[in-house]
Structure 1
Amino acid sequence: MAAIRKFMQDIFSISAQKRFFLCALGEVDGRQIWLVRSRSNAEHSDPKMLVVAGFHGEEKAGPYAILKWMKNCDQQTLRKVDLSFIPIVNPIGFAKNMRYAIPGEKTNCGFCHPERGEVASREGKILITNIDLLKPLAEDGFLSLHEDIRENAFYLYTFEKSKKPGAFTTGIREELGKHFRKALDGVHVEIDASDGSATGPIVKDGVVFRHCDGSFEDWMFHLGVPRAVVTETPGLYRLKRRIDAGASVIDKFIALNLELGRKPE
């Protein structure tokens, strides 16, 4: 519990220093889910991007990567783009170092594709309730920082309007490749909780492209966000390297969206 208190104290402190704006989206068991914004309103034409982390409580590098990026960000970047962050989607899981706040209540599913029969978690329902706020904040791009704690290789899920991975996917993949020796390839990337068997999509050269699974990133893409990416850093590496990788991915994500702009891909 002390870790999340210290983390949020740091978020509040940096937000005050850098003049970020904070908004509570809702709470689960007394723990609030916070939105951090670089600007107080979205009534402008600058690119808008949303970065989230902490869907799964044991995946620590993502939230700390956001914290590191906020500490080191420069005003020049903030003048170019409207950035928003949800540093911890699942604060109960983070506090308890557990994947889900309630065992078996999956945090990142049930947002779309009702034919899958999945139901949104309490955290997910808070995101759904706030979608009219969140969708415009991701108008130009969405990034979700995840980890695969079983792996020593990285991979990513990406969504682009093209039929095959484009410059956005390639750029994020190359950025992760600067921090980790290899990309996962040719294997299933999901585990069946009932028996531990490998299921789900097969990753190809570090990339799972346009995988429709009812996740938040899948939903954001269906809602019209032009580019979305989920990074899966390898949890068998040291935490510091994973944090550094996440912070550099945020920089690359911003740069790629600025470069690609709103032109058709």
Structure 2
Amino acid sequence: MSRSPYQRYSWQSEIFECASHDIDRFMALLDEECQRLNLKQRVLGKVEGQPLLLLQSPNASAGLPSILISSGFHGEEAAGPWGLLHFLSGVSPEIFERVNLSLLPLNNPTGFIKGHRFNIFGENPNRGYLAGVDDAKPTIEGKILLEHGQLLQAASKDGILTCHEDVLQTHTYLYSFEPRQQPGAFSQQLLGALAESFDVAMDADIDGCPVNNGFIFNHFDSSFEAWLVRSGAKVGACSETPATQNFDRRILANSAVMQRFVDFTLAQ
């Protein structure tokens, strides 16, 4: 069974008191958090009038670790962006004294509005970043991100986390990247955060990739996170929450894995 690029999904969040595809409420609440935290807001580009935003620490320091959190590459994976918003609501400004934090909150706004996987042009915004890996070409969103490649590579030098969902799954799993033969502490910590909300997927194949103990490990395709790891990020992960489960639970799980990513970085 494969995901449909055009099937529309919509959930209601009691946490945020809105529908999952309510981009106006999402952007308004995001702006409130940016103002509270004094985050730098940069519009990398626009797709059909909707901005691709990069948010960054108020004053980055060369002596601090630099990590990037991204979400919303697929429009039917709405708990990622809302989870990022929930994560931000719990952040204290003092965190920026310890880490250079960058965030790409919503990378497929046209798909998010429709509640379907691909963008409005029928393209997959999470493919085409690594040339020669597959036949995928960068989408309009991908071209915007690639145009800012050096900026994003610097922002993710100590780690990249991108938060996805799987509308076919009842269990959670994690794509992870570490410079080792088996999943290490980084991978285990992030999967552990997800496992506090959902059962971990049993060993199987998902999207043609073997899952072992909840991990798809060091699988390099042409995705955004694989590109950044190839470009020098020390570690990387792509979390997958099960979109057959309760929406608010998924929001909280996405928020939790983001917090665990930050905590792991600060503990190094």
> What TM-score comes out, normalization by structure 2 length?
0.89
User: For residue 150 of structure 1, what is the aligned residue in structure 2?
Assistant: 168
- Matched residue, 1:64: 82
Q: Does 1:30 align with 2:73?
A: no
Gaps of 5+ in 2: 1-18
Deviating beyond 2 angstroms after TM superposition, the runs of 4 or more aligned structure 1 residues are 75-78
2:136 aligned counterpart, secondary structure:
coil
Q: 1:220 maps to which residue?
A: 228
- Separation (CA, whole Å) in 1 of partners of 2:61 and 2:194: 33
Q: CA deviation at 1:155?
A: 0.4
Percent identical residues: 33
How many residue pairs end up in the alignment?
249
Q: Does residue 206 in structure 1 map to residue 214 in structure 2?
A: yes
User: Offset at 1:170?
Assistant: 0.8
Deviation at 1:138, TM superposition (A): 0.7
For residues 84-103 of structure 1, the aligned pairs below 5 Å read 84-102=102-120
**SS of equivalent residue, structure 1 residue 229:** strand
CA distance in 2, matches of 1:24, 1:46: 24
Shift in Å, 1:183 = 1.1
Partner residue in 2 for 1:196: none
What is the correspondence of 1:180-199 to structure 2 with a 5 Å cutoff? 180=198, 182-190=199-207
Contact 2:61 2:100 in 1 (8 A): no
Write the deviation string for residues 22-41 of structure 1: whole angstroms up to 9, x where unpaired. 0001011111101111224x
| Residues in 2 aligned to 1:64 and 1:255: alpha-carbon distance in whole angstroms | 20
* Alignment RMSD: 1.5
What are the ranges of 5 or more consecutive residues in structure 1 without an aligned counterpart? 191-199, 261-265
Q: 1:21 aligns with which of 21, 40, 55?
A: 40
Distance in 2 (CA, whole Å) between partners of 1:104 and 1:13 is 32
Distance 1:115 1:210, change over 3 A: closer
For the 8 Å contact 1:147–1:231, the answer to whether it is kept is: yes
What one-letter code is carried by the residue in structure 2 that aligns with 1:25?
Answer: L
Which segment is superposed worse, 94-103 or 215-224? Answer: 94-103
The residue that corresponds to 2:242 in the other structure is 234
CA distance in 2, matches of 1:105, 1:18: 34
Say which SS state the counterpart of residue 114 (structure 1) adopts.
coil
